[in-house]
Amino acid sequence: MSEIDISQLINQFKRDGFVVLKRQISPAVCQEIGNTLSRAVEVISAQSSRDITNRWYLTHRTDSGVLYDVYQRFPEARKAAEVPEVTAFLKSYFNRSVYLYVNSYLYKPADKDNQVPWHQDFLNRPNETEKVLAWVSLDSATQENGCLQVIPGSHKRGFRKWFHVEGATHHDRIVLDKNEESNKVFVETEPGDIVLFSNYLIHSSAQNSSDLPRRALRFVYKALDDDALPRGSMIMIHTESEDFYTAVPLPRN
């Protein structure tokens, strides 16, 4: 990727709140990652209490279709976390050292409620700086099996008013403006495509009631400019050595 291509991507990202990078990971690698994680879901569903990595990392939620901290736990998943084009984007976008903030595997369990309502990410951490999410499509994601849906440009106003639905799987929801939903776009993807989006972008996905899986990896990156690290240990993606001495911790929430 040339500097010009990257700056075009960044302009598009700043305008729309997201960009799609096509075919960043080979179908074979997507399949390998998908197989490993599907198998893990089977094993974990049957015997989660025996997972000793729960001592360091967040406990998986096979009830809501999430395996947490897959970068740390599954070597296969790492291949998708350091895609050169994504790293080049992050380096240029943040212009700072970048680290992997959180990461997970998302699938839509066939026998459960698996839709994701309109929301923004990390609504409950308003004092932190922006995150960039890389949503890596492991399968073809279409309208039928619940691809990502986004409202282009909705990131520009920062966090919206939000509320909590007790007991719901995806509990933090936002209040959309009247008619805003009519601007939604279905982001259909192929295996290996990566959707980069701002955590301020309003997004959702529909119920997958088809027979086709809809699996994805979710990597969240941010600049090294506060001291928040949700769990595990820090994984640097790009290092500007000066940042280690100049990064200013923000107050904790």
In the range 139-158, which residues lie near ligand AKG by CB under 6 A? 148
Distance CA 146, CA 135 (A): 14
By beta-carbon distance, which residue lies closest to ligand AKG? 205
**At a CB cut-off of 8 Å and minimum separation 6, what does 195 contact?**
18, 19, 20, 21, 133, 134, 135, 137, 148, 187, 189
Contact between 103 and 217 (Cβ < 8 Å): yes
In the range 116-145, which residues lie near Fe ion by CB under 5 A? 121
State the binding partner of 77 from ligand AKG, Fe ion, none, CB within 5 to 8 A by kind.
none
Does position 201 interact with Fe ion (CB under 5 A)? The reply is no
> Six-digit token pair at 78?
């790492």
Nearest distance from C-beta of residue 50 to ligand AKG, angstroms? 27
Does position 217 interact with ligand AKG (CB under 6 A)? The reply is no
b/e sequence 217-229, b meaning 16+ C-beta within 10 Å: bbbbbbbbbbebe
Distance CA 53, CA 241 (A): 31
| Binder among 30, 37, 67, 106 for ligand AKG (CB under 6 A) | 106
Q: Which residue's CB is nearer to ligand AKG, number 176 or number 247?
A: 176
Does position 218 interact with ligand AKG (CB under 6 A)? The reply is yes
Positions in the binding site for Fe ion (CB under 5 A): 121
Positions in the binding site for ligand AKG (CB under 6 A): 106, 116, 121, 133, 135, 148, 203, 205, 216, 218
